[in-house]
Chain A
Amino acid sequence: MTTKKTEKKSGKKNVKKRVLLQGNEAAALGALDAGVNFFAGYPITPSTEIAEIMATELPKRGGKFVQMEDEIASICTVIGGSLAGAKAMTATSGPGFSLMQEGIGFAKITETPCLIVNVQRGGPSTGLPTKPSQGDIMATRWGSHGDAPAIVLYPHTVKETYELAIRAVNLAEKYRTCVVLLLDEVIGHMSEAVTLPDVSKYRVVNRIKPNVPPEWYKHYDENQKYLSPVASYGEGYRFHVTGLVHDAYGFPTNNSNEAAIMMHRLKKKITFNIRDLVQIESFHMEEAEIAIFAAGIVARSAKQAVIKARKEGIKVGLIRPMTIWPFPDDAVRKMLKNVETVIVPELNQGQMIHEIERLAKDKDDGKIIKMQMVNGELITPTQILHKIKEVN
């Protein structure tokens, strides 16, 4: 059985006027349009606007907003809300994201759908609250202990933030896991003129409900490798929820067979569906000899640099991951095969570049050049253009 898809089609083409929308607003609106009806969080720069909008909008739509005492309580409350049947989310930044790591692991092992928007800011600890950084790329993958896969989406425009917020909620519901929508501070805080298509143009995924009698119900059906029907508390179905490795009914187990089944499912539901999860954008890659691999705000600098370089006759293109985890291995392998040089600009001291290097095994693969910045400023198109000319 697969996930139920609620697809509505609008009869008329809805002409909507363009509006000035902030990235954080877009994330909140996307989540609301995907059906999020529960938010528990603790406001933190640069994600505060998301909590503000949810506090205003959720009560109007019959949802619930809870301001918690901290981020540990926030993620736990989100998980609780989700177990009770809500589409639940929170929004935070680096310091809060660190506090949430234990809860993220709990959401993953208990297979509880939820969305975390992490608007990245600079530095470790409280760092640079109002400055951009891409320092959390590896934290979203490996932040929580215990070897579980991650789904992380990374938009680069305000409009895409709206779209990926919807997609993030859908993926959380479909794959029963914690999904992270990763934003750059600049994307969260910037405003752009956007035309949002009618929400009915987007598919909204809802959990499928079990159709067996309550006494037959297994919360973690071992016959369903992934995407199994899921009951919520209060619907008459009995299940146990624990952070311990558990059996099909959710009760703790030390049995190695049952442990293997559970761990295998956590991994398989991601790796088996890699083509559903991974999305990349290929920008001017035709006949490219140089490729730039960049995500989020840096990809915008790269696009401008690519357009300028192409005008000067340099064969350069951009590969941009919209899903950063699971990592787009196939696209990167193909890129490494086809180009002579890969430039990896990022606002950290080297994170994505490790993944590129991991995939560059063939000695004929392109040379990998790093470009890193951690001073709270953006990498400019001019800097990338200089680098392109340097390696050309």
Chain B
Amino acid sequence: MSKKESFRTEIRLSGSGGQGLMLAGHILADASVIDGYRVTLSKSYGPESRGGASRTDVIISDEEIYYPEATRFDCLLALMQEACDKYVYDVKTKGILIVDTTHVKNVSVMNTKVYELPFTNIAKEKLGSVLPTNILTLSFLVKITKAVSLESLEQAIRETVKPAFVDLNIKAMNLGYELADNYEK
């Protein structure tokens, strides 16, 4: 994603309640603030604390952002099949789709660059927990899309997550970068 004179990047993180997407969205928005951009972060979720459809939209721009929800995505992250089915057609032409193949088995798209990895399983195997899947996928997304700088992302993670989980999440972040680098090869 190149940042032109005037840009507006719309990113939707979607999945199910409990997957940490609200936190991931917050970190991404925080990182864009550190980078000096304008940003809005809006959320949509059900009344339940786990389960149910959940999404968070981050819009990064250098101009005033009026409508705070993403309508045409430069990047869509889908951690669940339902989320992927529901939003995939609103990804921009030449936009980016990132899916977690642990939960998303069927992706039908054209003209969209798709990155498929079993993020949840990778987190379980390499980090010993599914909890940092959100940071793993977010850092993968940031490395691929260059939506924010890596320094800002790391700073935002360190400032946002609870002190006891900083190390685990930084590990997840580095693993996300690694996955992205290897994917591009």
Q: Which residues of A contact B (CB under 8 A)?
A: 18-20, 45, 129-131, 186, 189-193, 297, 300-301, 303-304, 307, 378, 380-382
Cβ of B117 to closest chain A Cβ, rounded Å: 28
8 A Cβ contacts from B24-78 to A: 26, 29-30, 32-33, 36-47, 65-69, 71
Please indicate the chain B residues that have their CB under 8 angstroms from the CB of A20 in the complex.
Answer: 26, 29-30, 33, 39, 41
A304 and B10 alpha carbons, distance in the complex (Å):
15
A193 B47 Cβ-Cβ under 8 A: no
Interface pairs (22), CB distance under 8 Å:
A18-B36, A20-B29, A20-B33, A129-B47, A130-B45, A186-B69, A189-B43, A190-B42, A191-B29, A191-B42, A192-B39, A192-B41, A193-B29, A193-B39, A300-B66, A300-B67, A300-B68, A301-B66, A304-B66, A304-B67, A380-B71, A381-B67
Known: A20-B29, A20-B30, A193-B38. A381 touches B66 (CB 8 A): yes
- Name the residue of chain B whose CB is nearest to the CB of A301: B67
Contact of A19 among B32, B33, B46 (CB under 8 A): B33
A192 and B36 alpha carbons, distance in the complex (Å):
12
A189 B67 Cβ-Cβ under 8 A: no
A297 and B44 alpha carbons, distance in the complex (Å):
15
Cβ of A257 to closest chain B Cβ, rounded Å: 53
A45, A300, A301, A303: residue with the most chain B Cβ atoms closer than 10 Å: A300
Please indicate the chain B residues that have their CB under 8 angstroms from the CB of A300 in the complex.
Answer: 66-68
B41 A190 Cβ-Cβ under 8 A: yes
B69 A378 Cβ-Cβ under 8 A: yes
- Name the residue of chain A whose CB is nearest to the CB of B60: A193
A131 and B39 alpha carbons, distance in the complex (Å):
21
Question: Could you count the A-B residue pairs with CB atoms below 8 Å apart for me: how many are there?
Answer: 64
B66 A190 Cβ-Cβ under 8 A: no
B47 A190 Cβ-Cβ under 8 A: no
- Name the residue of chain B whose CB is nearest to the CB of A302: B66
B42 A189 Cβ-Cβ under 8 A: yes
Please indicate the chain B residues that have their CB under 8 angstroms from the CB of A19 in the complex.
Answer: 33
Interface of A is mostly: mixed
A20 and B37 alpha carbons, distance in the complex (Å):
11
A131, A192, A380, A381: residue with the most chain B Cβ atoms closer than 10 Å: A192
A190 B67 Cβ-Cβ under 8 A: no
Please indicate the chain A residues that have their CB under 8 angstroms from the CB of B45 in the complex.
Answer: 130
B46 A130 Cβ-Cβ under 8 A: yes
- What 8 additional pairs, Cβ within 8 angstroms, besides A190-B43, A301-B67? A20-B30, A130-B45, A190-B42, A191-B41, A192-B41, A301-B66, A303-B66, A303-B67
Known: A45-B47, A191-B26. A186 touches B67 (CB 8 A): no
Cβ of B9 to closest chain A Cβ, rounded Å: 14
Known: A303-B66, A380-B67, A382-B71. A193 touches B44 (CB 8 A): no
Please indicate the chain B residues that have their CB under 8 angstroms from the CB of A303 in the complex.
Answer: 66-67
Contact of B32 among A186, A189, A193, A304 (CB under 8 A): A193
Cβ of A184 to closest chain B Cβ, rounded Å: 11
Please indicate the chain A residues that have their CB under 8 angstroms from the CB of B71 in the complex.
Answer: 380-382
List the 3 closest pairs (A to B, CB-CB), nearest first.
Answer: A191-B41, A304-B66, A190-B42
A190 B40 Cβ-Cβ under 8 A: yes
- Name the residue of chain B whose CB is nearest to the CB of A128: B47
Cβ of A70 to closest chain B Cβ, rounded Å: 19
Please indicate the chain A residues that have their CB under 8 angstroms from the CB of B38 in the complex.
Answer: 192-193
B37 A190 Cβ-Cβ under 8 A: no
Please indicate the chain A residues that have their CB under 8 angstroms from the CB of B30 in the complex.
Answer: 20
Please indicate the chain B residues that have their CB under 8 angstroms from the CB of A297 in the complex.
Answer: 68
A19, A193, A382: residue with the most chain B Cβ atoms closer than 10 Å: A193
Please indicate the chain A residues that have their CB under 8 angstroms from the CB of B44 in the complex.
Answer: 130-131
Cβ of A371 to closest chain B Cβ, rounded Å: 15
Contact of B33 among A18, A131, A381 (CB under 8 A): A18
A190 B32 Cβ-Cβ under 8 A: no
B42 A186 Cβ-Cβ under 8 A: yes
Cβ of B132 to closest chain A Cβ, rounded Å: 21
Please indicate the chain A residues that have their CB under 8 angstroms from the CB of B68 in the complex.
Answer: 186, 190, 192, 297, 300
Cβ of B157 to closest chain A Cβ, rounded Å: 14
- Name the residue of chain B whose CB is nearest to the CB of A297: B68
- Name the residue of chain B whose CB is nearest to the CB of A303: B66
Cβ of B58 to closest chain A Cβ, rounded Å: 9
A304 and B40 alpha carbons, distance in the complex (Å):
14
Cβ of B143 to closest chain A Cβ, rounded Å: 22
Please indicate the chain B residues that have their CB under 8 angstroms from the CB of A190 in the complex.
Answer: 40-43, 68
Please indicate the chain B residues that have their CB under 8 angstroms from the CB of A301 in the complex.
Answer: 66-67
- Name the residue of chain A whose CB is nearest to the CB of B32: A193
B32, B67, B71: residue with the most chain A Cβ atoms closer than 10 Å: B67
